Structure 1
Amino acid sequence: MGDPLLHHALRLLAARAYTEAGLRRKLAHRGLPEEVEATIRRVKELGYLDDRSYAEGYIRLNQGRWGVGKLRQALRAKGVSVEVIEGVLADLEPQTDPVAEALELLERYPSRYRGEKAKAMRFLLNRGFPLSAALAAWERYSRTPNPER
Structure 2
Amino acid sequence: MAEERKDKPAGDAASLRERALRLLARRDYPRAELERKLLGYCAAQSAAGSAADSADVDDEEFAAASAAAVGALLDQLAARGLLSDSRYAENRVRARAARYGNARLEQELRQRGVEAEVRADALAGCSSEIERASALWRRRFGCIPGDANERARQMRYLAARGFSGDTVRRVLATAADDSDDVREDDEAC
Q: What corresponds to 2:104 in structure 1?
A: 70
1:13 to 6, 24, 34: 24
Does residue 106 (structure 1) correspond to residue 123 (structure 2)? The answer is: no
Does residue 46 (structure 1) correspond to residue 80 (structure 2)? The answer is: yes
Q: Report the number of matched residues.
A: 144
Which amino acid in the other structure matches residue 84 of structure 1? V
Shift of 1:114: 6.5
State the alpha-carbon separation in 2 of the partners of residues 9 and 135 from structure 1.
45
2:167 to 112, 115, 133: 133
Relative to structure 1, the CA distance from residue 21 to residue 142 in structure 2 (aligned partners, 3 Å threshold; closer, same or farther) is: same
RMSD, aligned CA: 2.0
Which amino acid in the other structure matches residue 65 of structure 1? R
State the alpha-carbon separation in 2 of the partners of residues 121 and 4 from structure 1.
50
Gaps of 5+ in 1: none
| TM-score of the two chains, using structure 2 as the length reference | 0.70
| TM-score of the two chains, using structure 1 as the length reference | 0.87
Q: What corresponds to 1:147 in structure 2?
A: 187
Shift of 1:97: 2.7
Structure with max Cα Rg: 2
Shift of 1:132: 0.8
Contact 1:6 1:43 survives alignment (8 Å): no
Relative to structure 1, the CA distance from residue 87 to residue 97 in structure 2 (aligned partners, 3 Å threshold; closer, same or farther) is: closer
Q: What corresponds to 1:83 in structure 2?
A: 117
Does residue 27 (structure 1) correspond to residue 38 (structure 2)? The answer is: yes
Percent of residue pairs identical: 33
Gaps of 5+ in 2: 1-12, 43-65
State the alpha-carbon separation in 1 of the partners of residues 112 and 135 from structure 2.
27
State the alpha-carbon separation in 2 of the partners of residues 15 and 97 from structure 1.
30
- CA deviations on 1:89-115 (whole Å, 9 max, x unpaired) are 2233xxx2322221211111129x965
Contact 1:19 1:78 survives alignment (8 Å): yes
- CA deviations on 1:1-49 (whole Å, 9 max, x unpaired) are x622111101110111111011001100233111111111111112110
